[in-house]
Structure formats: structure tokens, C-alpha cells
Amino acid sequence: MWQLGMGDDRARVAIVGCGGAGCNVLRRVAAPPDALRIAMNDSPPPKLTDVQTRVIVRADSLQAYASMDEKAVQQMETDEEKEISAVLLDRDVVLILGGLGGELGGWGMSLVGRVARILGDTTLAFATIPFGIEGPIRRQLAEAQLHLLQKRVDGLVTFGNDQLLQVAKDLPMAKAFAALSAIMARPASDLASALARPDAVPLRRMLARVRDWRYGMGVGREKHRCFVAVDEAYASPWFTSVPEEIRHAIVLMSVPESGTDEAEILRDIRRRSPNVDIAWASLPHAEGDDRTVVQIVAGL
């Protein structure tokens, strides 16, 4: 077990939204002052006027560039790679956001992962998976992009659209997707705030140890707030149904009572997942807020 954010220097984080879905998530990311938000699309993305760093790419070339293994092709030769490299310079951690199954976002995420790995950055991707009813062509494309992305980044957290119906079943589809974008933006925002520069290397080692990462979040109040928050996180639709299989976890918490609540949350997670290695951080808590919020990024 180790605590994130203990170094004096904050980690230099880049948060990259790839394609339409990734840019929609990026719009909801509340990045800390030392983090850089980057929008990558085939045209200037709408509703992102406050994101000054943009990379414009052509969708038809991304698959070939992203498929180049960084060990076999170590130099960045294409204009797209050089442009991505220029905006990622002097970063420690790169968080990549996007959706699988499209022509730009899925391949674009892998290309960003390839460039970041050549630069030596720690990479973690958050990606959506299409609905099962969207047809075999889209599902096959998403599966191919998923397999490549797992090779290009240190860690990958997936959010299935089918599970979205469990948390937003009464909402119109546009509002349901907006809700999912807000859910995905939360761990990206808070992890960027929590990390210190010394965390980058051990975080990369932790992420690389497992292939499948899941996300859960819970909120609790009053006497049993810690138990309720952890219980809700474990019950999240994108989390695992077998807590004993969790081997590594990044735990982000915001608590009313520092020290006491944190220890209780960590004990409860250890009780549910006895073999887990935990990296944890306590986030700033708003005065007067009685909620305990627990986010768990779990590796199986």
C-alpha cells in the first residue's frame, strides 16, 4: 500500500480527448492548473473553446500509424506523430480519453499511446465500448481497436455502453451519453490532481501488471458513510462481480474526517479484496460537505 501525491512536485499530466467521444469527455474534465488538456480530432471540436491545445489529424491514416510497434519502429516519422509528440513534451503522465468502434477515436488513442510510450510517459486510457446492438461491423472494429490499445498503453479502463442503461435507463440517449462522459471525466480529473512526479514510474509498473482495469464510484453519508461509499463502488455497473480477483487498485477518496475515514475505507477494501495492492490518495474536501466519495480503479 502506498500513498499518491506525497512528492513536492506535482506530476505534469496531459489529458488527451480523441475523436468526438473523447472530446465530449474532455469538455467535462476539471483539470488542475499544472495539467494540459489536449483535443485531437479531424476538425476543430465544437464546445471546446477553452481548450487551447488541439491536434487536427486525418482519420484514414491513423490505423496504420497506430499499428507501428514502438520497439520495431522507434522513430516518429509521420507528421501526426510529430505533432502529438510536440504537445506531449515534458509530461510525466498521459491520460487518454475516447470511444472504440469509430474510425478516429479508437485508432487515435493507440497512436497517442505509441507516441507517449516512445517519450517515456506513463499512460492510462479510459475508453467506451459500443452497444451490443450496434451491429457486427462496429463491434469487430471496436474489438480490433481494443486489442491494439491494450498493447499501446500501460493501463486501460473500459466503460461498456450496455452497462450505461443500468444507471441512465430513464434518460434520453443524448443525456445518457452526457452522463457517461461526466462519469469518465471524474477519475481523469481527480487522478491528475492527486499525482506527484515521483508517482509516475511506480504507477506505470502497477498499471502494466494487469490487462483488465475496471472503475467504480460510491457516495456515502452519515454514520456508515465509508461502508456505503465502498459498497456502492463495488456495485458499480462497470466494476467486477468477483472482488476477490482484484490484484491492484488505485483508490481516490474525498472524506469529511481525514485519517479516520481513510483508514476505514482502506480496511474495507482490503476485507473485500484481500490480495489487493493499493495506491491511494485523499482529495481535497469541500467545507460543509458531509459526503464520503470513493473511486476505485481496479486491476484484475
Domain with residue 128: its CATH number is 3.40.50.1440
Q: How many CB atoms lie within 10 A of CB 8?
A: 7
Q: How confident is the model at residue 76 (pLDDT cuts 50, 70, 90)?
A: confident
Q: How confident is the model at residue 133 (pLDDT cuts 50, 70, 90)?
A: low
pLDDT at 18: 97
- 123-137, 162-176, 220-234: least confident range: 162-176
**Same structural domain, 203 and 217:** no
pLDDT at 10: 95
The owner of cell 497512436 is 111
Q: How far is CA 55 from CA 43, 111, 120, 196, 262, in A?
A: 9, 12, 20, 26, 40
Residue 37: beta bridge partners? Answer: 15
> 30, 126 in Cβ contact below 8 A?
no
pLDDT at 166: 81
Q: Residue 241, class by beta-carbon neighbours within 10 Å (0-12 exposed, 13-18 middle, 19+ buried)?
A: exposed
Q: How confident is the model at residue 61 (pLDDT cuts 50, 70, 90)?
A: confident
Q: Which residue has the higher pLDDT, 131 or 159?
A: 159
**Same structural domain, 273 and 259:** yes
Q: What value does the mean pLDDT take over residues 47-74?
A: 86
Q: How confident is the model at residue 214 (pLDDT cuts 50, 70, 90)?
A: very high
How many percent of the chain have pLDDT more than 90? 79
**Same structural domain, 231 and 131:** no
0.75 exceeded by the pTM? yes
Phi, psi of 35 (to 5 degrees): -95, 155
Q: How confident is the model at residue 57 (pLDDT cuts 50, 70, 90)?
A: very high
pLDDT at 27: 94
- 12-26, 66-80, 280-294: least confident range: 66-80
**Same structural domain, 286 and 163:** no
Q: 229 lies in which domain range?
A: 213-299
**Same structural domain, 51 and 184:** yes
**Same structural domain, 36 and 101:** yes
Among 192, 208, 224, the domain boundary falls at 208
**Same structural domain, 99 and 184:** yes
**Same structural domain, 178 and 227:** no
Where do the DSSP E strands lie in the chain?
2-3, 13-18, 36-41, 53-56, 93-99, 122-129, 155-160, 213-220, 248-254, 277-282, 292-299
**Same structural domain, 47 and 161:** yes
Whether the predicted pLDDT of 168 surpasses 80: no
Residue 36 one-letter amino acid: L
Q: Please enumerate in sequence order all residues whose Cβ is within 8 A of that of 292, keeping only pairs 6 or more positions apart, or say none.
A: 219, 220, 221, 225, 226, 228, 229, 253, 254, 255, 256, 261, 265
Among 145, 174, 208, the domain boundary falls at 208
Q: What is the CATH number of the domain that holds 226?
A: 3.30.1330.20
Among 177, 208, 239, the domain boundary falls at 208
Q: What value does the mean pLDDT take over residues 68-87?
A: 86
**Same structural domain, 140 and 263:** no
Q: Residue 67, class by beta-carbon neighbours within 10 Å (0-12 exposed, 13-18 middle, 19+ buried)?
A: middle
**Same structural domain, 124 and 145:** yes
pLDDT tens, residue by residue, 183-198:
999 999 999 999 999 9
Whether the predicted pLDDT of 23 surpasses 80: yes
Nearest to 96 by CA among 173, 32, 19, 3: 19
Whether the predicted pLDDT of 69 surpasses 90: no
pLDDT tens, residue by residue, 238-284:
999 999 999 999 999 999 999 999 999 999 999 999 999 999 999 99
Give the number of domains in the chain: 2
Whether the predicted pLDDT of 181 surpasses 70: yes
**Same structural domain, 48 and 185:** yes
